[in-house]
Amino acid sequence: MRKNSFICKLKSTFSILNWIGKDIEIMAKKKPTLVFNPANLTFEHKKVSWQSRLTYGLMIMSGVLVFGFISVMVSHKIFPSPNEQNLNRRIKLLQKEYKTLDRHLEVVSEDLATLRKRDENMYRVIYQRDPIDDNIWKTTEKGTEKYDILTKESGYAVIGEILKKITIVRNTMKLQEKSYNELADLVRRKDEMLTSIPSIQPISNKDLTRIASGFGWRMHPIYRIPKRHEGIDFTAPTGTPIYVSGDGVVVSCSYEGGYGNCIIVNHGYGYKTRYAHLSAYAVRGGDRIKRGQKIGSVGNTGASVGPHLHYEVEYNDQKVDPALFFYNDLNKSQFEEIIKITNARGKSFD
């Protein structure tokens, strides 16, 4: 009996285990819908609400999306798409071009700094002009503040710095151009001044007989008294051409007492010249004339004792020695000779 009872219990146990195994297998297949009931040792279908199913579905979907997004990001980092590869190449090319442009701007800035030094230390010194004030040079940075917003952004910092440098270079070039225009005007005026200053003999050396009297105190040939001779007398035959000694405007062509027929020329810059005792005029009052142009002929009019030209130079209404202005026509020995004549005491021709 005991043996049969044990066998029956054993069979009963195996049947229970077999049933539990089937239930476990069913539970494994349908895990979300089965729950174990300890009261009757059975698995029962769980009633799941639609809210729970929706929540569960959303959780699964969210997990899938997050996993997919991470997978895509990782794959893009490791394996960029053709478009991304093309964009990366363009970015590297632009960065290279920005660096090249930045180097060019540095070179241009250095060149402008060199021009500024020459302007201050050479050109303005030659033409006796003060250098441009440093406060004016600082205005070249005007207009760069609008690019500060770019320089604060990491992706646009390089562009902002380059735009700032371009603005400074442009403003510097404008200021330097203004300075050079001023210097060019000074050069032009200097050239005009140099051509206007009386600097040649009014009578050609080939027509000149001699320089009879120089600048200073002389015995007057007519009045026989010491009188200051305020010019130089060039003796030459009547009719010898007389040339103006610098660019200018004819003030008058008229008879002036002891000067006889006389021409006065205003050269500007404080200079005037007088040509006296002429026999004829070749110009009229108001004519604009050029250095070396014929203006009249040697004569013997007025208080004169022989054919000659009396030539005077005025600077700021003061009579000065004309011999000091003959540097275009005289060599060193000739200049020394005329100075001797000027310093010698004797008679004048007028």
On whether the CB atoms of residues 296 and 263 are closer than 8 A, the answer is yes
Query: Could you give the residue ranges of the DSSP H alpha helices within the chain?
Result: 2-29, 50-78, 82-118, 124-126, 134-138, 148-151, 157-196, 332-343
- What amino acid occupies position 346? G
pLDDT, tens digit only, all 350 positions of the chain? 444 544 554 455 445 445 444 554 444 444 556 666 677 767 666 666 667 767 877 887 787 778 777 877 776 666 667 787 788 788 788 778 888 888 888 888 888 888 888 887 777 766 667 778 878 888 888 888 887 777 777 667 777 888 888 888 888 888 888 888 888 887 777 778 888 888 888 888 776 656 656 555 555 555 454 566 688 888 889 999 999 999 999 999 999 988 999 999 999 988 999 999 999 999 999 999 999 999 999 999 988 878 989 999 998 888 888 877 775 455 555 555 555 555 555 444 55
Which residues on neighbouring strands pair with residue 250, listed in sequence order? 265
The angle subtended at Cα 338 by Cα 337 and Cα 343, nearest 5°, is 100
SS3 assignment, position 36: strand
> pTM for this one?
0.48
Spatial separation of the C-alpha atoms in residues 219 and 36, rounded to whole Å: 154
- Residue 144 Cα distances to 101, 116, 249, angstroms: 18, 21, 52
At 2 the pLDDT is 44
Question: Which tokens belong to 241?
Answer: 């051409």
Residue 296 CB neighbours (<10 A):
24
Which residues on neighbouring strands pair with residue 311, listed in sequence order? 232, 275
- What amino acid occupies position 310? H
On whether the CB atoms of residues 231 and 282 are closer than 8 A, the answer is no
Question: Which tokens belong to 49?
Answer: 């609400």
The residue written with tokens 């000779």 in the block is 337
At 285 the pLDDT is 93
Spatial separation of the C-alpha atoms in residues 51 and 32, rounded to whole Å: 14
The residue written with tokens 């009014």 in the block is 202
On whether the CB atoms of residues 288 and 306 are closer than 8 A, the answer is no
At 273 the pLDDT is 95
H/E run at residue 69: helix 50-78
